[in-house]
Amino acid sequence: MKNFFKFVFASCLGMFLFIIAFGLIGTVWLGRLASAESKPKPVKPNSVLKITLDKPIPERTDNVPFDFSNLKEEKTLGLSDILRTIEAAKEDDRIEGIYLEIDLVPIGLSTATELRRALEDFAESGKFIFAWSRYYDQRAYYLASVADGVLLHPLGLIDLRGFGAVVPYFKNMLDKVGIEMEVFYAGNYKSATEPFRLTRMSEYNRKQLHEYLDPLAEEFLGRIAEARDIPFDSLEAMVNRFDSRSASLCLEKGLVDALTWKDSVRTLIREELGLDEDDDVPVVTLARYFEHARPEVDYSIKDRIAVVYAEGAIVDGKGEQGQIGDEKYTRILRKIRESDRIKAVVLRVNSPGGSAVASDNIWREIELLKKAGKPVVVSMGDYAASGGYYISCNADSIFAEPNTLTGSIGVFWMFPNMTELFNDKLGITWDTVHTHPWATRLNPYFPLSDEEKAVMQQQTERIYEVFLSRVSAGRGLPIDSVHAIAQGRIWSGRKALEIGLVDALGDLDRAIASAAAMAGLEHYRIKEYPQIKEPIQQLLDELMGMDESDLTVKAMQAELGPYYPMYEQLRVMLQSAGPQARLPFLLDY
């Protein structure tokens, strides 16, 4: 009888939760349906385009993992759509200027540079840009520095302190709980395993990070110095002293034009527009204006160029939205290969890497595309490192931004030895019966033997040699030359051009133009992949497939906020099976 009531209660609870979820879905679905059927609100004359960049910017619109905030009406615009929207605003007589209200901007440096170029281009039209913030982080200030007026809250600051790489080390913690990570890697600079075998940064890693970050910081500060008309040496001295730590110092040193509150910004904009004191300032958000800025598509043009956005970690299987799952992407590339209307492919890569096997599967589909006679051009974003470079290296041509992080050609494998944890800490011992010598080997309950270690290292080196051969064939370089610039070492896009890892510096538009030229196309239209699920569909998928671990991840994401990527990097690395070709650290710009 007790079990009967327990089952009845569980059934009722499940039905109750289903009704709530169904009601939520229905409400949101009807709201989105109504908004989809209604025309975009008209843009008034003398309007100001308001830009707030408070969330990560995907390469493609709405290509982000699901969360409940995605159910709101406005889209999460991708980088290419944001750039097109700013360009459209430049040409629109109804848009008089841009208002940047930006604090913490969670984007990579290459993304910030592309946005900054778009803002500079907008400013050349003679239209104004005002920027205001309570607190500018470095990327926000990098963007704001192009503005005609850079405004700051009287109690604010600019977090202008230079670039750094923050690497957590877990070895002491693992020692305390009795876990030893058996590590196998190929490449002296492949430092992804260092946090599990060292307590501080190796000299190889320290060297490569300095050689990557120093020129980037110099270029970054150089652009700010030019925009603010501050001598470079003076600006660098300010950064060294952290002179931007208070609003009054920021004003004194010329980093901002005025200290003011948010309500006063409206007054400044009203004056710029020549409006009376009581007049409203017509403001249109970036997402709203995007609906007016969509490029017209000429459907009479049959020839197409496929733009495939490969962003996020490279994982085995389908992967989540915002990841590069090899099953999903090989299916996309196969479909493109079999399409008679698609004449060329641009692969937009923004990935720190991941599974070596998944990377190789995607590499294979790129090879088959080329054999089918379709040119393949790669456009690199913030990252195209390790596995991200693996899937790029066999393209007909590779474009990178000057500050793209690329290379990291190397492989690693990690295996936990939990003998001490079980035997000494928990008092659990293990024994085995087996029919063949290797049946119970390579498990975390016993230390690896010398023979097992040799097998793991041989496998790691074999995959590294395959990686080298892929790069050698794709880039037309001797194996020895590739090995000299590989070993897990990272390079900026500018340096990668010098050593032959990329062909040219340029953005996505330039890569598309190159692909069109290779295919001999004058008139074409763009077909974008992958297809992006509507938030409602994502919600249904989440509800149908969510388990306790998914709920834990969502809770951690909400709790940790901007620090979640560090946790996520560790979580993905520990859950990964097989050899990895992955970027080993997070950069703080």
- The residues annotated with a catalytic role in the active site are 190, 386
Q: Are 324 and 286 in contact (CB under 8 A)?
A: no
Q: Are 89 and 122 in contact (CB under 8 A)?
A: yes
Query: Quick one: residue 500, left, alpha or beta (phi over 0 = left, psi -120 to 50 = alpha)?
Result: left
CA distance 418 to 443: 9
The total of other beta-carbon atoms located within 10 Å of residue 319's CB is 21
CA distance 400 to 343: 22
CA 289 to chain centroid: 24
CA of 269: how far to CAs of 92, 99, 264, 325, 586, in Å?
A: 18, 9, 9, 46, 38
In order, the DSSP letters of 383-448 are EEETHHHHTTTTSSEEEE-TT-EEE---EEEEEEE-HHIIIIIS--------SSTTTT-S-TTSPP
Return phi, psi of residue 327, to 5°: -60, -45
CA distance 551 to 24: 18
CA distance 586 to 589: 10
CA distance 141 to 139: 5
CA of 73: how far to CAs of 288, 321, 453, 458, in Å?
A: 10, 19, 54, 53
- How close are the terminal C-alpha atoms of the chain, in Å? 62
CA distance 541 to 483: 44
User: Per residue, what are the HEC states of 222-278?
Assistant: HHHHHHHCCCHHHHHHHHHHCHHHCHHHHHHCCCCCEECCHHHHHHHHHHHHCCCCC
Dihedral angle of Cα 492, 493, 498, 500, to the nearest 10 degrees = 110
Q: Are 536 and 26 in contact (CB under 8 A)?
A: no
Q: Are 335 and 297 in contact (CB under 8 A)?
A: no
Dihedral angle of Cα 494, 496, 502, 508, to the nearest 10 degrees = -40
Q: Are 496 and 224 in contact (CB under 8 A)?
A: no
The total of other beta-carbon atoms located within 10 Å of residue 528's CB is 19
Helix, strand or coil for residue 24?
helix
DSSP 8-state assignment for residue 188:
T
Residue 32: is it exposed, middle or buried by C-beta count within 10 angstroms (0-12/13-18/19+)? middle
Q: Are 445 and 472 in contact (CB under 8 A)?
A: no
